Amino acid sequence: MAFAERVVIVGGGIGGLATALSLSRSGGAGHIQVLERAPRFAEIGAGLQLAPNALHALTQIGVPEEAIAACGFHPSRLALMDALTGQLITALDVGEPFLRRYGRRYTVMHRGDLLQLLLDEATSRSNIELCAATTVVGAAGNGRSATVDTADGASHHADLVVGADGLHSVLRDIIIGESELVLSGYVSYRGVLPFDRLADVAGGEDMLIWCGPGMHLVQYPIRRGELYNQVVCFRSDRYSPEHDNWGTAGEIDSHYENACPAVRAGVELIDRERNWKMADRAPVDSWISGRLVLLGDAAHPMLQYVAQGACQALEDAACLGQSLAQSATVDDALSTYVRIRAPRTARVQHSARMFGQFLHLDGMGATVRNFLLRRRATDDYSESEWLHGYR
């Protein structure tokens, strides 16, 4: 087994905390320090889809299945709806046949609930140290160890540094060099409401994905069905890479004015305070430089359309722990980790781009899409097998 006496993880989001758990459980790390720049470890108030591939990873790193089930919600179907006509296009049965096939239910939950599960586990492990309000500003390595510098002037030495610092990763620039952030011109708004506020138009036990020209709306219940999560996404007519003043809240309603009443009712209630501009980066072959390595969005940021960014970060975390447990040296473990993870996450990144185009089709393209999808069986898992069936 490979062993790193001191590990520093930069970023205490889903990927960073999951990695701390995974390394602690694998026995491949001594002391694990998680450095998070936010004043406390927290997630934004929104929902998260977790497919079986992510649930297997979570159990592998030691999060109890019962704890996940206690705060998750299990939709019966993933229903693709036409945002203009209000009609069902196709549905994927994620009930019993899905459970039999993948051994886990498709689960949706509040992000804060998942982060709390990870935090509860992390605080119960004596070799994990959680440091909030600690911003990493630089890192350097000599091949056998690495040092991380923080904004308060401190330096943290480690045998292994994991950059789990998200889309705008500082560690990525150091490990890979600058890489282009590819803005898609799409923007998302998200929010959570008491389920009762949308009960009349909500999809009951189904997760609804309403698609229309240059827009989509995702809706599903979370926290045992007490809350309803919504993500409103559209292509901004004002998009320009030259300035940031696009995708504003003032553009939302005009984008959805031709949508069916159920969609308009949901969009009206969306939180307009904050938005997320949809962006990714092109896949790269390696995320290692000596003892510095990347994970999650820092390594392979993707568009959110296949709902896999966090799922892939969890797979990464499980894989890194397992690689340490099964390798002779830390360097071998890092090579194995990247050899396994880079091709898979690249495929997910590409698929997310393609699925976005498919969702947002207009005119004849949308007509053909709907015609073809209406013919598929609800228990036809062939298209998503590679994604959801992965262990």
Ligand X SMILES: Cc1cc2nc3c(=O)[nH]c(=O)nc-3n(C[C@H](O)[C@H](O)[C@H](O)COP(=O)(O)OP(=O)(O)OC[C@H]3O[C@@H](n4cnc5c(N)ncnc54)[C@H](O)[C@@H]3O)c2cc1C
Asked whether position 13 contacts ligand X by CB under 6 A, the answer is yes
Among 2, 12, 22, 320, binds ligand X (CB under 6 A): 12
3-class SS at 143?
coil
3-class state of residue 81 by DSSP:
strand
How many residues bind ligand X (CB under 6 A)? The answer is: 34
Q: Is 82 helix (H, G, I), strand (E, B) or coil?
A: strand
Q: Which of 26, 290, 37 is nearest to 158 (CA)?
A: 290
Question: Distance between terminal CA atoms of the chain?
Answer: 21
Asked if residue 75 binds ligand X (CB under 6 A), the reply is no
- Residue 305 C-beta: closest distance to ligand X, Å: 9
Residues within window 125-154 making contact with ligand X, judged by CB under 6 A: 135-136
Name which of 19 and 90 has its Cβ closer to ligand X.
19
How many angstroms separate the Cα of 217 from the Cα of each of 51, 183, 227, 252, 266? 19, 19, 16, 12, 8
- Encode burial over 304-331: b for 16+ CB neighbours within 10 A, e otherwise: bbbbbbbbbbbbbbbbbbbbbbebeebb
Q: Which of 82, 113, 159, 165 binds ligand X (CB under 6 A)?
A: 165
Q: E strand or H helix at 20, and its extent?
A: helix 14-26
| Cβ at position 314, least distance to ligand X in Å | 8
- Output 113 or 370, the one with its CB closest to ligand X: 113
Q: Which window, 70-78, 192-200, 236-244, 310-318, contacts ligand X (CB under 6 A)?
A: 310-318
Q: Which residues contact 44 (CB under 8 A, 6 or more apart)?
A: 111, 190
If the CB atoms of residues 48 and 55 are measured against ligand X, the closer one turns out to be 48
- Of 192 and 370, the one with the shorter C-beta distance to ligand X is 192
Confirm or reject binding of residue 216 to ligand X (CB under 6 A). Answer: no
Q: Name the residues that contact ligand X, by CB under 6 A.
A: 10-16, 35-38, 48-49, 135-136, 164-167, 170, 188, 190, 231, 276, 296-298, 304, 307-311, 313
